[in-house]
Structure 1
Amino acid sequence: MAAPSPSRRALDAFDRAILRIVQRDNRMPQRKIAQAVNLSTAAVQRRIAAMEHGGVIAANVAIVDPDAVGLGVTSIVEVNLIDEKAATVDRAKALFRSDPDVQQCYYVTGGRSFIMLIVAPDMRSYEATTRRLFAENEAVASYHSYLALSRVKAGMELVIPDAG
């Protein structure tokens, strides 16, 4: 039997402990992570590299406050496509994935095709985005926007369960 691919490798308690740390602060020195999880620095380095290679750690990024960079409009948008044919859905996914104003996008069940989060500097820019992505898109049957009044919580930190 072949060994599991890096992306299929089961995460053990050490991997999960490392993930809990790096998703809060991925700039923490690996020697400090090693001390916190009771492993050698080299072991932590190997485990992090394996999790990056396997796609468990998808990216190492800085989370920027949209207001601090002049992106004052946040909208949650529900999108309905004209049909759910694979070609229609795939084209929509490609378009939404490639647009820089779309921060998050989910293909969903429950009477909608997509739910997405869009940020823009102002309402004029937001209108241009909605025209480009939805109003002028023949694959979109309808869309509904919810403008955020305030950001109550925004984060990417996952609650990582213990190894089971």
Structure 2
Amino acid sequence: MAGRSSSPARLLDAFDLAILRIVQRDNKLPQRTIAEAVNLSTAAVQRRIAAMEAAGVITRNVAIVDPDAVRLAITAIVEVHLRDEQAATVDEAKALFRAAPEVQQCYYTTGGTSFVLIIVTPDMRAYDALTRRLFSENDCVERFRTLVALDRVKADTAIVIP
């Protein structure tokens, strides 16, 4: 994982954005292929990718795994309402959710819901145990609501780059 730089935010130009569009679809694509697609040299593409990693623009290079292939049958979207929105309460909840590997995504939100989480578990028994640990037995949580996904219609991880 690339570390965040303490330098000022890096301004991205059209070449950087074109490279990002490509590597979001397939970050194992050879850099010479990327270079041909964006009309730069392979060395220039390599330097730009390294600079974007160092600046924290590219935060990680990961494999996207099909949950069905690893027997994670339950995908739940969970709305979490905290007992209050004080900084200590929010920070404690963030740390707890960040540390739970079953929590695939976690968003601190507005509009009456404190957090929205995407959770995957192998079955409902595991989901029940997780909800007890994260929500029911957690003094920070006032209540939560679960929506169980029936079908994964789209689960794209790429950010739309203008």
For Structure 1 versus Structure 2, the TM-score category normalised by the shorter chain is: over 0.9
Q: How many residues align?
A: 157
Instruction: Determine helix, strand or coil for the equivalent of 1:130.
Output: helix
User: Which 5+ residue runs of structure 2 have no aligned equivalent?
Assistant: 1-5
- Distance in 2 between the 1:159 and 1:139 partners? 34
**Consecutive aligned runs of 4 or more in structure 1 exceeding 3 Å deviation:** none
Q: Provide the identity percentage.
A: 69
Q: Which residue of 2 aligns with 1:68?
A: 69
How much does 1:7 deviate? 5.7
Do the aligned partners of residues 127 and 112 (structure 1) sit closer, same or farther apart at CA in structure 2, a change above 3 Å counting? same
Counterpart of 1:129 in structure 2: which amino acid?
L
How much does 1:97 deviate? 0.4
- Distance in 2 between the 1:31 and 1:71 partners? 37
- Distance in 1 between the 2:86 and 2:7 partners? 33
Pairing of 1:100-119 with structure 2 (within 5 A):
100-119=101-120
- Distance in 2 between the 1:43 and 1:94 partners? 39
Counterpart of 1:72 in structure 2: which amino acid?
A
Pairing of 1:1-164 with structure 2 (within 5 A):
8-161=9-162
Instruction: Determine helix, strand or coil for the equivalent of 2:96.
Output: helix
Q: Is the 8 A contact 1:7 1:56 kept in 2?
A: no
- Distance in 2 between the 1:156 and 1:53 partners? 21
TM-score, with length taken from structure 1: 0.94
How much does 1:115 deviate? 0.4
How much does 1:9 deviate? 1.3
Instruction: Determine helix, strand or coil for the equivalent of 1:23.
Output: helix
- CA-to-aligned-CA distance 1:15-40 (integer Å, 9 cap, x gap): 00000100001000001111110111
Root mean square deviation, CA, Å: 0.9
